[in-house]
Structure formats: C-alpha cells, structure tokens
Structure 1
Amino acid sequence: MTTLPVAICQAAPVPLDFAGGIDKAVRLAREAIAGGARFVAFGETFLGGYPLWLDEAPGAALWDHPGTKALHAIMLEQAIVANDERLLPLQELCDETGACVSIGAHERVRQSLYNNQLLFRPGEVPLDHRKLVPTHGERLIWMRGDGSTLGVHEAEWGRAGNLICWEHWMPLARAAMHNLGEAVHVAAWPTVREEYALASRHYAMEGRCFVLAAGLVQKRDDLFEGLANVGGSAEAEELFNAIESDVLNKGGSMIIAPNARVLAQAGEGEEILHAILDLSEIGQGLATLDTDGHYSRPDVFELSVDMRPKDGVVRKSE
C-alpha cells in the first residue's frame, strides 16, 4: 500500500457512561470507515470522558472532597476491565471492515484506574498503551503505566502506535517509540491547543511519521448528562456546578505529515476529519533525518527500555 486513508473522530464523549460512550464510538467509527478511512482515531479517554473537574472545579483536589470521591467511585464502577465484553462491538467493527480504531478509555486493574489508549485491529486483541505519567492533577485518578505497553501494531501498510498527551514531552518515551518505526502515530489529547499542536508536529518531524493529533469536544452540560445516565450524585453535581466555563474542550484535531506540515485541521465542534496519507513521504523524509539511525549516536547515547509488566506484587512459592 502506498496510500492510507485515515480519519479523526473529533466528538464529545459521554462522560462517566461507558456503555453510552461505546455506542457513540461505534457509530462514529463506522461513519468514518464508510467515508473511506482504514485507520480511525479518537481523543484521550473518549470512553468515560476526560476528568475536566480536576482542572476546572475549584477545590476538586482538596483532601476528602465529597464530589471527587463520588466521581472516583463511579469511574471505578464504569471503567473497562480486561476482556471487557462491552468493547466487543468495536472489535467486531474492525474484524468486519479490516480497519483499525485507536480510542482512549479509563481502565480498571484491581482497585486502580489507568488512562489507556486502546488500538483495536482486525483479527487480533487490542493493543494497550497505558499513560506512563499522569499529568499534574490527573495523578489523583490514574495509576502510572509501565513499559510493557510501549508497543506498536504491525499492519500491511506499516506500524502504528499511541502516546497520550504530555507523554509527547517525554524525550525517552519518544525515542523508544521512534525506535519501533511507526508509520502512523496517534497523539491523543483532551483538546489540541497551540502547544499540543506544536508537540504533535514536532513528533511527526522527529519520528518521520504521520501523526493523528486527536482531541475531544466537551461542554460543562455534558458532565451533568453523563452523570444522570449512571444514576446521579448530589456531591458530584455540586462539584460540577462550581465549574465556571461553559465550553471546556475545543477539539482542534489535526493530521500531520512527516515533515510537520498540517494535512487537515478540525474546528471547534464535532466533526470527522479525513486525509489520505502518502506513505512514500516517510522514506523521503528519512533521507535527511533519521533520529533512530544516521542522526543517532549509539556510541554516545544508549536507551534501555524495561518492557516487563510491573504488577506490584510478585508471589513466589517455596
């Protein structure tokens, strides 16, 4: 394959309501695939919605805050788990169409939540990428991922991988992914503001790959609607009422070529952004810059990546 049609579904998630979010994701992904896309990306934690109250609600980070505790309990209850049957419609869509879908979700492992960007691919189990370092207030919600989820999907047209949000300012994480030779990279964001667009374009240039910088659209009213879908909470409603802004995430998604030029850019509302990638641009760009090859100095620099899963508990028999 010399070209690859791709799309970003820039949309509002259904906050807290994972069943509703999956229904919407399948509908939008199917629409994008019907429009020609063979690879589809959604933004950070589309399934469950980005926890905007951490940044937008005064007092959300205070110790023992009733609203924050109520929301955390809901998120634990709603989060996806390993082999979650609620994800089957996304897998079946990929199996049926041969397309790939990258989508963010809250994932529960034992009693902890992770920020996971799942890559669904035909005929295979989804590829996990758990965010290595939750950013700032996100640490109140999410556990840190480990190196076992720094991987790529091997497709007939090349390799595809994910990083989430501020991982794009982790130089060693970028180097580890560039070493895997991505053709397509999903940069998942809650919204693609100016500095996030710069990071995404830099990644494309540095990694000589195409980047789908995928953002969400979210309004304060969405939080109330999602909360009502999962049974409501007076404490959580009070926390949401403290949020002053009406529009919280404004999209701005973009599709970027390996030389950092923007192929397509979304506005601030819900839309499906399409582009056709000319995969030959990757090899052309590597002639002048290969940060994992002729522009590296393995005699000076060495990167070690521990890809063992870290479960925290190792049980040993005598």
Structure 2
Amino acid sequence: MTLLTAAVVQAGSPLFDTPAALTKALDLIRAAAARGAQVVVLPEAFLGGYPKGFDFGVRVGSRSPEGRDTFRRYFESAVAVPGAETDELASLAVELNIHAVVGAVERSGSTLYCVALFFGPQGYLGKHRKLMPTAAERLIWGLGDGSTMPVVDSGRGLLGAAICWENYMPLFRTTMYAKGVDIWCAPTVDDRETWHMTMRHVALEGRCFVLSAAQYLLRSDLPPDVHPVQGDAPDTVLIGGGSTIVSPLGEVLAGPLRDGEGILVAELDLGDIARSRFDFDPTGHYARPDLFTLHVDETPRPPTRAG
C-alpha cells in the first residue's frame, strides 16, 4: 500500500503586505510539514491577496482616480515569477523535502495573473496561470494561455491545479484528466456550500484525490483605509473557508473546515486511484474517441513576437 500525507491550509492573507503574507505562508507550510504532510496546498491568491469586496472605482464607461490608486497598491503587492518570494518558497520545499502548491498573484510586465505555483524537493517547478478570471476579476487579472497547464510528478502521483471556478470548465478538466492527474489541487476563495459538492464531483469524475484550500479572510486582514462592501467591523468575515480533502470515490477525508483558519491533514491511499478507475476512466476506457475528441492548444500566446 502506497500512502501519501497531504495537507490543505485554510488562512487569509494580509492585503497590500506581501512580506507578511510570505512569512505567514512559510510558517503555515512548516506547520503542515510538521504534521507529516508531503504535499501542501495553500489558497488562491495567497501571495498578493484577494481583494474581496473591492470595486476599484469601476463603472461601465468610467474609472475613478481613487480606484486607479487602489489598483496601483495591488499591482505593487504582486510577485515576480520567478523572484525573491518564489526563491524563499523553493528553498523551504527543498529543506523540508515536500511538494507545495501556492496560490499567488503574478506580476508580468504591466499585467497581473492569478497563478498556482508548484514547488518540490528540486525547488521551483513551474506555474499555472488561471485561464478565465471570473466576473469582476477580469478588471484586475489577465487570461492565461495553454502553455501553463503543467502536471508535476511528485514521485507518488501526478499533481495538477485548477484555480477556483476553473473547476467548472469541463474542457479544462478533461485536459487535466488526460494528462493523468492523480492529485487535483484546487486553490480557491469560493466559500459557498455548493463548492463542496463541486469538489466531490471533480474527485468522482476525474477519479483523483482533490485537495481544496480556501482562504478564511477577515476585515481585520485589510488595511483600515480601504472599505469592502461587506462592512468595516474588524470581525466581518469576507471569505468563509470551506477547505476539504476528497478521495477518488468521493469520500470526504477531511473538512469542510469552517469558522476559522486551520490545517486539514489526511493520509491518501494511492491505491484508491486504480480502484476507482476500475469502472470509470474519463479519458481512457470510459471515453468514446470515435465520437468525441478535444484539441488543446498549448502554444504560448505572447502579444508580440520578434522576427
């Protein structure tokens, strides 16, 4: 029997304070590793922050000077990939001999991207850029392309990531299933009860383990000079968690975690992957390639090309 200990971290990241967010991320990863975790997942946009309840001064056809300045602060909080922050996370993964998937906001040129960063005993291993920011997220984040949809070999199973509502994209899920994902990492800020159903569905559909890490964010994690629509009371919950770990047959192994920060740990029996795919393999024996095919373009799509 091959066992793997996995952890999902539920915590909020302080907005506009990337050094504090990085310190918190490093401490949480250490805490998870101290509990035996060999794979650790942190929530969406943990480095750089998720500005829940902000409108950035946008109305249809207009932007405000105050909103532009709020975006400037957010832009300055994003991280370069690779950069100083990824170097520190990579060093920790090497030191602890673990794999980690960390949600971040990447600054590339003058555009921001929501990303999942992969680290392992070899250091920094790559990134996945969110393909489709949801609703007002499109004001602040660019769209990823097909060149950053990696799977990472942990030595005990293939890791992949889908960020928040990417988990609702059936063709993206199919693509990742075809890449052989065994451990599906889902950094998110979706705290609704329906999210838990989605995670169980992905586990059952992909016949993979699902590790979903959500933020638990309070108004007190934001600076006093910004005013989210949810209210200004320090204990106002902006993002309510709901982290969970699910088996390939839909069994909830840990969570969902509510009402505070915390770390969920579960022992994964990797033999459950083969057991579950015995009667359903979504891109194998249960597929119908004579009827359905999916073309995936993984070409990098920069806006300009030299030559």
Q: Above 0.5 in TM-score?
A: yes
CA distance in structure 1 between the partners assigned to 2:267 and 2:242 by the alignment: 19
Deviation for aligned residue 1:276:
0.4
Deviation for aligned residue 1:98:
1.3
CA distance in structure 2 between the partners assigned to 1:264 and 1:113 by the alignment: 33
CA distance in structure 1 between the partners assigned to 2:212 and 2:37 by the alignment: 16
- Structure 1 counterpart SS, 2:223: helix
Which digits, 9 at most, give the CA deviation of each residue in 1:40-99, with x for residues without a partner? 011110112212124xx6x84323133431221112222111320122221111111210
Alignment of 1:61 with 2:55, yes or no, is no
Contact 1:255 1:264 in 2 (8 A): yes
Partner residue of 2:205?
Answer: 206
CA distance in structure 1 between the partners assigned to 2:266 and 2:66 by the alignment: 41
1:123-142 equivalences in 2 (<5 Å): 123-142=122-141
1:190-205 equivalences in 2 (<5 Å): 190-205=189-204
Cα pair distance change 1:241/1:156, threshold 3 Å: closer
Which digits, 9 at most, give the CA deviation of each residue in 1:82-126, with x for residues without a partner? 320122221111111210111111101111000011111121433
Deviation for aligned residue 1:303:
0.8
Task: Among all aligned residue pairs of Structure 1 and Structure 2, give the percentage whose two residues are the same amino acid.
Answer: 38
CA distance in structure 1 between the partners assigned to 2:228 and 2:254 by the alignment: 36
Partner residue of 1:30?
Answer: 30
1:248 aligned to 238, 246, 251, which one?
A: 238
Alignment of 1:13 with 2:13, yes or no, is yes
Cα pair distance change 1:268/1:305, threshold 3 Å: same
Cα pair distance change 1:218/1:67, threshold 3 Å: farther
CA distance in structure 2 between the partners assigned to 1:269 and 1:242 by the alignment: 21
Alignment RMSD: 1.6
Q: Pick the structure with more helix per residue.
A: 1
1:14-163 equivalences in 2 (<5 Å): 14-54=14-54, 60-62=57-59, 63-163=62-162
Look up the equivalent residue of 2:119 and give its one-letter code: F
Partner residue of 1:304?
Answer: 295
Partner residue of 1:171?
Answer: 170
2:280 aligned to 289, 293, 309, which one?
A: 289
CA distance in structure 2 between the partners assigned to 1:177 and 1:197 by the alignment: 20
Contact 1:22 1:87 in 2 (8 A): no
- How many residue pairs get matched? 301
Cα pair distance change 1:175/1:88, threshold 3 Å: same
CA distance in structure 1 between the partners assigned to 2:294 and 2:229 by the alignment: 45
Look up the equivalent residue of 1:38 and give its one-letter code: Q
CA distance in structure 1 between the partners assigned to 2:64 and 2:185 by the alignment: 34
Contact 2:87 2:124 in 1 (8 A): no
CA distance in structure 1 between the partners assigned to 2:166 and 2:6 by the alignment: 23
Q: TM-score, normalised by structure 1?
A: 0.91
| Structure 2: tracts of 5 or more residues without a match | none
| Structure 1: tracts of 5 or more residues without a match | 226-236
Contact 2:160 2:185 in 1 (8 A): yes
Contact 2:187 2:212 in 1 (8 A): yes
CA distance in structure 2 between the partners assigned to 1:151 and 1:243 by the alignment: 36
